[in-house]
Amino acid sequence: MRKIISASTMLLGGYVCGVQATQVFDLEGFGATSRAMGGTSSSFYTGNAALISNPATLGLAPNGSKLEVGLDIVTTDIKARNSSGETATSDQVSNNRGPYYAPQLSYVAQLNDRWHLGAGLFANGGLGTEFGNDSFLSQTENGTQTDLENSSRLLVLRAPVGFSYQAMPDLTLGASVDLVWTALNLNLLLPASQVGALAANGDLSGSLVSPLAGFVGADGAAHFSFSRDDITGGGVDAIGLGGRLGATYQLTDSTVIGAMYNFKTSVGDLKGGATLSAVAGDGSVLPIRGDIRIKDFEMPASLTVGFAHQLNDRWLLAGDIKRTYWSDVMANINVGFTGAMGDIDIVLPHNYQDITVASVGAAYAYSDKLTLRAGYSYAQQAQDNALILAVIPAYLKEHVTFGGEYYFDDSSSLNAALSFGLKESLQTPSYLSGTETLKQSHSQINAVVSYGKRF
């Protein structure tokens, strides 16, 4: 199954890298129509991407079946600066980094006046950073440069199969079930003060704790590395299931209300090979190869409600409120490592909070061939400032979006959107230990383009 998914992503996107986090690990809208309208999607037709937003809105589609092929493109600007003024920048220096690409492929068939049925492949989201091996993030507690990488890449792909059913003249129901593939790369160095804070909190256990602590001492560091330096995949991965339920209700001739519930994924543990390195204060390295397990790594459940109002023949307005339950899946990252020398279990506290995301959007039919769209979204911050790792930036709040769709004829169109993640800056203590202050910032530009053909 992993080979099938990897081959599919290669064929669809040319190549696929991790998609940078936008609203925590989620993209701020699926498909060009939703993305251009601030991520709204609960109550109007957003194309085949409704399969992973609100499948009930497939019932609002024009008559016929539709094929869509598209591509997400993401560029980022991420920086971290320590109290000494040293700066680490996330650059485009390897296959882990951007621009990031992810595919879209879907087909939805109209079976009759009441039923639509479809399937697709979409990127749910992810994250990606590359700080290289020569910044302050790669230094031991006493400032020795280790030349060890600090980077990340998370890719969550979903392959949904779903339907919509017009249960009553004004009520449409929908559901979809996803095959979910989660793949993760991570290179992470923790200075001795952070390792010590984990130990003091009881977050380290296993037979490797004592010997590694003796080697690291008060001036060294510990480094985890599990990374697949290919155009797709990760050092650890797993396949599981996800899904959602949705409904729309025609409140008046011009107003539709909608709701959708997205279930927490059931992927389980991400598994693969890894290297755990203990680094002494003088830069000496003790590498240990073994097997690693990221335990119960899931994407969260969410509940969305919203409306769409057709003002007149040209203007459509939409708004959504979404509640995402991050605290249920990202309170901690639990890591289990087993090598020839022994084992170690690590709990990395994160304390993510549930968040509310508000989004609004508008569409204007400029002509019979061209529709213009714009939107805005605001997301609460899920991360605890005291527990932010520079390699896991997931604190963007505001997005401003634009887009449009051009119809070549009655059956084919080109749809595109741009989303600007407005720069967010934070001042945080060093992870767990608080021995210094970090200034972090993140901004990005997302683009999505798709071609649709109706039959």
Provide the 8-state DSSP code for 136: G
| pLDDT reading at 153 higher than 60 | yes
Residue 253 C-beta-side C-alpha neighbours within 13 Å? 3
Peptide bond into 169 cis (omega under 30): no
| Local structure of 114: helix, strand or coil | coil
Smallest CA-to-CA distance from 61 within 97, 111, 103 is with 111
* pLDDT greater than 80 at residue 1: no
- pLDDT higher for 310 or 442? 310
Distances (CA, A) of 21 to 7, 145, 245, 265, 318: 24, 29, 24, 18, 24
Q: 49 and 104 in contact (C-beta within 8 Å)? A: yes
User: Cα separation of 228 and 235, whole Å?
Assistant: 5
For residue 202 the two structure tokens come to 């009881």
Helix-strand-coil percent breakdown of the chain, rounded to 5? 10, 55, 35
Element (H, E) at 199: helix 192-200
What CATH number is associated with residue 179? 2.40.160.60
CA 17, CA 192: separation in Å to the nearest integer? 32
Percent of the chain with pLDDT over 90: 74
Residue 269 pLDDT > 50, yes or no? yes
pLDDT of residue 8: 40
CA 68 to chain centre: 22
| pLDDT tens readout for residues 76-108 | 788 999 988 899 988 655 544 556 778 899 999
Give the mean pLDDT of 213-224: 94
Report the distance separating Cα 273 and Cα 277, nearest Å. Answer: 13
The domain in which residue 323 lies consists of 2-454
Count the domains in the chain. 1
In 3-state terms, what secondary structure has residue 31?
Answer: helix
Q: Please identify which residue in the block is written with the tokens 């997301």.
A: 379
CA proximity to 348, closest of 290, 387, 395, 299: 387
Q: Does residue 17 have a pLDDT over 50? A: no
pLDDT tens string 225-264: 998 877 667 899 999 999 999 999 999 999 999 999 999 9
Report how far residue 107's alpha carbon sits from residue 119's, in angstroms, rounded to the nearest whole number: 6
Q: What is the pLDDT of residue 353?
A: 94
Residue 385: pLDDT over 90: no
How confident is the model at residue 231, as a pLDDT? 67
In 366-411, DSSP assigns E strands to 370-379, 398-407
